[in-house]
Chains A and B, each alone.
Chain A
Amino acid sequence: MCGIAALQLRNPLLHSQMGSLLSSMMCQIVDRGPDSAGLAVYDTPGLVSGNTSTLSLLGKEQGLPTAGIAAALENLLPASAGTAVKVVGDTTFVSSAVDTELLAKAVSETLPDSTIIGRGEHVAVMKSVGHPMDIAAEHGLEAMSGSQGLSHTRMATESAVTAGGSHPFSVADDLCLVHNGSFSNHATIRRDLLREGVVFDSDNDTEVGARYIASRLKQGDTLEEALTNLGKVFDGFYTLVVTTADSMAVVRDPIACKPAIIAETDDYVAMASEYRALASLPGIETARIFEPEPGKVYTWSL
């Protein structure tokens, strides 16, 4: 199985409730994937800020105290960049007013064993092993505000139960992907991407999907085109949710093996594996509720 809950808030007045709404959705999909979980939140004050790149690093222990990491990074980055390091739950966040690529390079030099699980100006990514609601609580999801949120509860099938194998996979600036299902030809596509020079962090099939989408976007595809192309190349079962700095997309495989349901109001677009995750959203009684059609790409922009 695996559970997905995603929320895009159209009404800025709801931004302050993003964390509590996403948390209420997430607790209804725990049964679908209780072994590990992950979260992506967009434009959450305290985690990201404008004109500043933020990297999310897997784990709270990086082998150096946060002050030590900050000092080492400051040596590699311009003094005016205001480099900062902080730990929230099981995630280390590094931010600096430089290009994401430059910050990632400095982090790799300072912490060669670290795994970057999120990057960009808008997104913060958190993931870990354990009960999904414990992971959400440790990171303080309930109190977070933001414009979009994405959560995934995992029942691992294709690769090991590790924090690195948890979703979302965020492999390009502000891009996140979560997946319910399994890709059957991911090894072949992984080899093709490796030949293009793409570097992987895990053995996970979903990471191949995320790297493929990032590769297509880099080649000029729109998000919709990238997901249409994914449907032509990838074989297997999938319901995918992809988020970017200002948009959200949902697609199911052409035989609709995995569930998905969407609720849309003037205030938000919410997607979940099951209706019960949407049941407590405000205004759900009058929302437009539908199941996405197989093989059709749906996108919504803020």
Chain B
Amino acid sequence: MVTLIETQTQDYATVTDEVSTLVDLADSPVRDLNQALHGAADGQSWTVENPGGKHSLAVGINAAASVTINGHAGYYAAGMHQKGEVTVNGNAGVGLAENIMSGKVHVKGDASQSAAATGHGGLVVIDGNAGARCGISMKGVDIVVGGNIGHMSAFMAQAGRLVVCGDAGDALGDSIYEARIYVKGTVASLGADCIEKPTKAEHLAELAGLLAAAGRADNPTEFKRYGSARNLYHFSVHNSTSY
């Protein structure tokens, strides 16, 4: 008997901009920015200039605030994101929105490897390409990638949805549990226990919702759905000599 981990459509945080606080990282440290953001109140807005690829920008935000980063972010941008919305007008480095819990993170350029790794909830939108291991061990996060994703994406993905409007690299969804993957382009290869599955009306509806949440106009019927064959769930006695 297989127990399904339920994935529900979530309401992503929407933040109203009022007055934006400007932070220029050319002359102030990242730590000051993050500490100020940890003290942010709901509804506040922040604009970060000259990020210069610095690491750990806007991590651990726990208020419904909006943060706009104008430029490229380094490693672990918007990590442990809890509430609110982070927008990167540029590229993001390794580990974008790692362990995101809820809220929204939007990268207008490309993201490096391990984007949204271990994410529990919320929405991560990458308009460009994502590198290897996108959504690795995802646990409920929704990810929409406008371009391609690299190899080993959605490895051991447990819950959540990964939408890829371009192509997927090798070993997609290796050892996947109950996350759902939608790919519009080609898949270089599927990982162990990941198979193509029929796309039913309910899937088209959830895909349409995710594309709309990401602000995309792609046609849901052009995607294929992939998920777990559920053959790795239980120990097989045939493998008893393998250990």
Measured between beta carbons, the chain B residues less than 8 angstroms from A280 are 52
Residue A274 lies at the interface, judged by CB distance under 8 Å to chain B: yes
Given A256-B131, A274-B93, A275-B93, the answer on whether A294 and B52 have CB atoms closer than 8 Å is: no
Residue B53 lies at the interface, judged by CB distance under 8 Å to chain A: yes
Q: Is the CB of A256 within 8 A of B91?
A: no
Q: How far is the CB of B56 from chain A (nearest CB, A)?
A: 12
Segment 265-283 of A: residues with Cβ below 8 Å from B:
274-280
Q: Is the CB of A279 within 8 A of B52?
A: yes
Q: Is the CB of B52 within 8 A of A291?
A: no
Q: Convert B93-136 into 0s and 1s, putting 1 for each residue whose CB lies closer than 8 angstroms to a CB of A.
A: 11000000000000000101100000000000000000110000
Residue B54 lies at the interface, judged by CB distance under 8 Å to chain A: yes
Q: Is the CB of B132 within 8 A of A255?
A: yes
Chain A contact residue count (CB 8 A cutoff): 16
Given A255-B151, A291-B112, the answer on whether A275 and B72 have CB atoms closer than 8 Å is: yes
Residue A289 lies at the interface, judged by CB distance under 8 Å to chain B: yes
28 contacts between A and B (CB under 8 A): A255-B132, A255-B152, A256-B131, A256-B132, A256-B150, A256-B151, A259-B93, A259-B113, A274-B74, A274-B75, A274-B93, A275-B72, A275-B91, A275-B93, A276-B53, A276-B54, A276-B74, A277-B53, A279-B52, A279-B53, A279-B72, A289-B91, A290-B110, A291-B110, A291-B112, A291-B131, A294-B132, A294-B150
Interface residues of B (CB under 8 A from A): 52-55, 72, 74-75, 91, 93-94, 110, 112-113, 131-132, 150-152
Q: Whole-angstrom distance between the alpha carbons of A161 and B112 in the complex?
A: 30
Q: Is the CB of B112 within 8 A of A259?
A: yes
Q: Is the CB of B151 within 8 A of A294?
A: yes
Interface of A, secondary structure class, is: loop
Q: Whole-angstrom distance between the alpha carbons of A220 and B18 in the complex?
A: 66
Q: How far is the CB of B138 from chain A (nearest CB, A)?
A: 19
Measured between beta carbons, the chain A residues less than 8 angstroms from B151 are 255-256, 294
Q: Whole-angstrom distance between the alpha carbons of A178 and B179 in the complex?
A: 40
Q: How far is the CB of A44 from chain B (nearest CB, A)?
A: 28
Q: Is the CB of A274 within 8 A of B53?
A: yes
Q: Is the CB of A275 within 8 A of B132?
A: no
Q: Is the CB of B94 within 8 A of A275?
A: no
Measured between beta carbons, the chain B residues less than 8 angstroms from A274 are 53, 74-75, 93
Q: Whole-angstrom distance between the alpha carbons of A275 and B74 in the complex?
A: 7
Q: Whole-angstrom distance between the alpha carbons of A275 and B131 in the complex?
A: 14
Q: Is the CB of B113 within 8 A of A256?
A: yes
Q: Which residue of A lies closest to B113 (CB)?
A: A256
Q: Which residue of A lies closest to B75 (CB)?
A: A274
Q: How far is the CB of A293 from chain B (nearest CB, A)?
A: 8
Q: Is the CB of A276 within 8 A of B94?
A: no
Segment 246-302 of A: residues with Cβ below 8 Å from B:
255-256, 259, 261, 274-280, 289-291, 294
